[in-house]
Structure 1
Amino acid sequence: MPDRGDVRQVRASNPGDSQVRVYAVQPREGAAPDEIVDGFLEAMTSDDAGFATARKYLTEEAALTWKPEERITVLSTAPDRKQSDQPEDRDARELTYPISGTQIATVDARHAYQPMSPADFSRSIHLVQVDAEDGKGNGKEWRIDRLPPGLVLSESDFQRNYRSINKYYFASGEDWVVADPVYIRNRQDPVTRMDPVAQTVKALLEGPTNWLKPVVDSRFPTGTALKKGVTTLATDDQSTLKVPLNDKAEHVGREQCRRMAAQLLFTLADLQSVRIEQVELQRSNGSQLCVGSKAQAEEFAPVRESGRAENAFFVDGHGTLMMLPTGGKEVGSPSATLGPFGKGLAPLRSVAVSRDESRAAGVSHDGRQLRVASIISDHEPKPAKVISSAVRPQDRLSAPSWDGRGDLWVADRNPLKPQLLMVPDGEGTAVPVRTPWLGSGTRVEALRVSADGVRVALLLNEQGRTTLQIGRIERQEGPGGRPVVSVVDPQFAAPRLESVSAVSWAGPSRLVVVGKEAGGVEQVRYIQTDGSTSATSVLPGLNEVKEVAAPHDDRSPVVANSQSDGIVRLAPGASWQPMIKAGASPVYPG
């Protein structure tokens, strides 16, 4: 440690430079069978181009048919290779080695991550003796001829080699984009030889993941791909990325091309290693299709940038709706909103504020009625939009939620008739939402709808256990123009959590979740909508969290309701800070 001399500014090293990299080692001559198995398992974790070294552990036929890109099996730890049942006959020509572990996820050929409750993984690797290529020694070498499909990686190796990005597509029938999280290689992809930028563009052009596909559309014509031979994409000195496409996109119009450029700009924004201010789409002959900038792409965001931090709201101890300034360094004093909710004329139990911060939907103190009222004027409250007939307050209405279309959602937890309800534009007649998966003994404890209006985070209670699932919202037009709305194909988003008590959206594809693992303590953490997490996703500890709310961006703090500390906030890089001792239902718009 220097104790004298001038202070000098130094350039920080690139964070990517410190990443551990594994270099595959080819099998040595005369290697024993267990060396072949161990060497192959290690070679699967490398960046070797084409997995060429890993293929050297396989027979010629297996090397040709093995497709590492078809799927990834993610285990909690490295696969455990058991010892083969060594036959007494030393002249044996084949051996089988069992491999096992605890599987926690899979990644399919479209790069979609699918978590699962930890389950036993048991496969085998079969070896045979083949003629050595050079004919040395006894002329025989052990090689693998049968193996599990794709790659088998530990969670740490997977996180070292792959990164999460969001692809973006347009919500069906709408003019705003929806995030579709997938995983790409951190560095050059061993199979396609593409750098991360080219991988990202390729993944976008391949289309949405199977789960999201029914509710989104791509503005790229079917069959559009990068121009043949393109494996590297880099920006010029103007931070412009030129993207050459094949002939499928030759004749698109300017408006369609603008939306294609917007999809690319939203998608590439997650690649922090490269700064992209605009993209230029090119025809296969190199001529320009169109140019789109980041500022122009914002036109298609589900939540428009307002240039200011989002406001937080909560219900005070008297059931009054209050606005809570959260952006400053010091805790500000809350102020009552305008309208009947701010005057305490209709005491509230829970609340949701519309995305434009003009209206609020409030559930009455007894949980029976859902009303909508202005919070920017003193208009009289309107008649209840939904009324629950459940006997117990805890079996009545959940906290409501607004989607980006302006529709209002709520769950009626009545044991005799559990259901989801949607109020079009917050003004119309409530529409029962079709939920074929909501059977007897299952109810929705809480819900939060995404800003794009095509996904809903659900806390589902079944047999006393509350889990987090993400449902897909499908809309159709029924008789007389009445909307037909369904929530289908709910997917577990946090299968490793034994119970989940609160959830909030925290951006286009991220959630803040309060829950605990089996035998663990309660945690507040970030989870991607595909269920993936990282080691840095856990937030500082907080006791007895009942509710949580996160902003759409990172300019405002996370706000929570703790049974012991009241309403608290968590600014980036800080600890939880008390704000209001008596309060409930902290929310950001949505």
Structure 2
Amino acid sequence: MRRTHRFSLHRWPLAVTVTGALLLSGCASIPTSGPVHQADPPVSSTPDASTEPAVAGPEADMTPEEVVQGFLAAGQGQDDDYAVARQYLTTDLAETWSPYERTVVFSGAAGIQEGLEENQVRVSVDERATIDDHGVMKRREAGSSEEMDVELTEVDGQWRISSVPDGVLVPASNLDDLYQPHNLYFLGKDGKTVVPDPRWFPDRQGVSTSIIRALLNGPAPYLEGSVDSAFPEGTELAGPSVPVQDGTAEVSLDVPDYSAVDVVGNRNMYSQVSLTLLALGNVENVNLSAGGGEADLGADDQSPLSPDPVTVPSRQIGLDGDRLVYLQGGQTQAVDSVSDALVGQAPQNPAMNADMTEFAALVDDGSTLVTFTDAEPEAVERFTGEDLSAPSMDPNGWVWVGTGDGQVRAADSGTAGTQAEDVDAPWLDGRAVRSLKISRDGSRALIVVSDGESAQVLISGVQRDDDGRPQSLNTPYLVDSGEGDLMMGDAAWISETQFVATSVTDGGTAPRLYDISGRYRELPYVDDGVTNVAGGNGEREIFVESGDELRLLTGESWSPQSDQIASTAFAG
């Protein structure tokens, strides 16, 4: 006779197994509300199975609640393809359940209550993020929840799970023990740069295979159409894995319509594969084969694309009163031919291109965007609006601003007689654009938006036409968010993979150093607030403006640089 079971509501802390033997320690810097973060930027490492927590299998005469609780906790043990977690499943389900399909990152305790059907359990958690089978993380706003129904049946007098959605649940406090971010590399539209795309994978042996499969699948949704991939659609691994032996990764591909003499295509594929894998601590060399043989990469002087970062000049542009000046090493210098271009126009937030020949700024107390060049120093009005963000100049020669009512505009700095054009971004939905900075590869926009009650830090892919003209911004990737006393402020790139953003409270400002995966560490607190952030090349060139004083990050403090120069910015 089939036995039925009725359930009462419980809140089960997944940090402990049903035996009480496993305490899942976590990083205290990961909050229990809001998006998922970690304190330190990732470092290259070789997965170490010894760091994985031990998990317990089922015991005799467990109740259905205990079986579900044990299964959820065992989902954090990745050894032998989640062998312990499969012990809680029926034989048929154990063969088909896919733990890699989806990961739900949650905070707090899991709620277990009676489901709508007989012998069914409903599990509910406070969701912080999801990670799909290609490592794409989607952070959730505070208040998001996830529910799943679990069905149980008796097998030889013991309760076992007969139906459960694919995937695992991971406490946010334990995320950094089980998963690590890895940058996949795609090709910039200019054909010269590579663009990183952060993904999250279980920190275990064989991660090289997961990484390459994700790379072959293409960029994350927020980068679609903004970057290219050298791999033709349908490209797959020719074997079951990407083995790594004695520091060498062997990548063998099955490429549709493969041409062995396409050296450029081979080099681009090799660039993506090698840059992606060489970040792993156990990979020193990469061999690429396709079509049954080693890929021809051409002559030695035809090297693959370089991983070297796109840098900007160490010289900043700024304002001394209403005159434009350069600032470098504590010394100022007038900007030749254009130093007086903005005199008498109440200027702020000047910007320049990497060649320091094209310039932009806001005038009329921030309501009007103007552009000018060293050859034509007279400022030309390009757009007028309310609450404009500081201009950003991209490598294609376009000047970008956002508005307080959720618009994005871009002006061709080389065509002075035209107005700034609308860049489609319907997902802004009227939210104010507080900061907008284009990455140095020109493929991504770093954006801070606010609706008055909350603010978000976002990264969006830039869609352009064949001439490089901006067309739209993709639905973005959420990096961070804040509410109330944790509103987000200005942001600035310091490399292709890192940026600085500010978290604003009533008592001051807490700048943070982020990597693009969303990890961050706190920089020294600024008691009197931050009105401007400037980022150069790496951590040694981070400046903030606070209390009418320009300050430079030096170790664990902010060193005063000038009380005369304001609104500084590096190129970009």
Please indicate the TM-score interval, normalised by the length of the shorter structure: 0.7 to 0.9
Structure 2 unmatched runs, 5+: 1-44
Name the structure, 1 or 2, with higher relative contact order (CA <8 Å, separation 6+). Answer: 2
Corresponding residue for 1:539? 523
Q: Using the alignment, how far apart are the partners of 2:497 and 2:383 within structure 1?
A: 32
Tell me: CA distance 1:42–1:464, structure 2 relative to 1, closer, same or farther (3 Å): closer
Displacement of 1:516 after TM fit?
4.6
What code does the residue aligned with 2:535 have? A
1:478-527 C-alpha deviation (Å, 9 max, x unpaired): xxx8946223424443234552221112322433211258x997422234
**Equivalent position to 1:80, from 99, 104, 110:** 110
Tell me: CA distance 1:464–1:68, structure 2 relative to 1, closer, same or farther (3 Å): closer
Give SS of 1:76's match: strand
Q: Using the alignment, how far apart are the partners of 2:470 and 2:383 within structure 1?
A: 20
CA RMSD of aligned residues (A): 3.5
Say if 1:346 and 1:364, in contact at 8 Å, map to a contact too. Answer: no
**Equivalent position to 1:433, from 422, 425, 440:** 422
What code does the residue aligned with 2:267 have? R
Q: Using the alignment, how far apart are the partners of 1:112 and 1:290 within structure 2?
A: 30
**Equivalent position to 1:169, from 159, 170, 186:** 186
**Equivalent position to 2:456, from 467, 483, 506:** 467
Alignment of 1:95-494 (within 5 A): 95-121=119-145, 123=147, 126=150, 128-132=152-156, 140-172=157-189, 174-188=191-205, 194=206, 196-234=207-245, 241-246=249-254, 248=256, 250-252=258-260, 253-271=262-280, 273-274=281-282, 276=284, 279-283=286-290, 285-290=292-297, 296-299=303-306, 304=310, 310-325=313-328, 332-341=330-339, 345=343, 348-364=347-363, 366-374=365-373, 379-388=375-384, 395=386, 397-411=388-402, 413=404, 419-428=407-416, 429-435=418-424, 437=426, 442-463=431-452, 465-476=454-465, 483=469, 485-494=471-480
Tell me: CA distance 1:366–1:522, structure 2 relative to 1, closer, same or farther (3 Å): closer
**Equivalent position to 2:543, from 541, 551, 559:** 559
What code does the residue aligned with 1:338 have? D
1:363-389 C-alpha deviation (Å, 9 max, x unpaired): 235335434445xx6x4513414142x
Say if 2:113 and 2:123, in contact at 8 Å, map to a contact too. Answer: no
Q: Using the alignment, how far apart are the partners of 2:286 and 2:122 within structure 1?
A: 49
Displacement of 1:116 after TM fit?
1.2
Question: Normalising by the residue count of structure 2, what TM-score does the alignment of the two structures yield?
Answer: 0.80
**Equivalent position to 1:569, from 522, 547, 552:** 552
Corresponding residue for 1:88? none
What code does the residue aligned with 1:406 have? G
Say if 2:253 and 2:290, in contact at 8 Å, map to a contact too. Answer: yes
Higher alpha-carbon deviation: 542-551 or 121-130: 121-130
Give SS of 1:289's match: coil
Corresponding residue for 1:584? 566
Q: Using the alignment, how far apart are the partners of 2:493 and 2:59 within structure 1?
A: 52
Q: Using the alignment, how far apart are the partners of 1:299 and 1:459 within structure 2?
A: 30
Give SS of 2:89's match: coil
Corresponding residue for 1:191? none
Say if 1:281 and 1:290, in contact at 8 Å, map to a contact too. Answer: no
Q: Using the alignment, how far apart are the partners of 2:286 and 2:209 within structure 1?
A: 13
Say if 1:548 and 1:558, in contact at 8 Å, map to a contact too. Answer: yes
Corresponding residue for 1:51? 82
What code does the residue aligned with 2:530 have? V
Structure 1 unmatched runs, 5+: 1-13, 86-92, 133-139, 189-193, 327-331
Displacement of 1:108 after TM fit?
1.7
Q: Using the alignment, how far apart are the partners of 1:294 and 1:151 within structure 2?
A: 47
**Number of aligned residues:** 521
Displacement of 1:311 after TM fit?
1.2
Question: Normalising by the residue count of structure 1, what TM-score does the alignment of the two structures yield?
Answer: 0.78
Say if 2:435 and 2:449, in contact at 8 Å, map to a contact too. Answer: yes
Percent identity between the two aligned chains: 24
Corresponding residue for 2:37? none
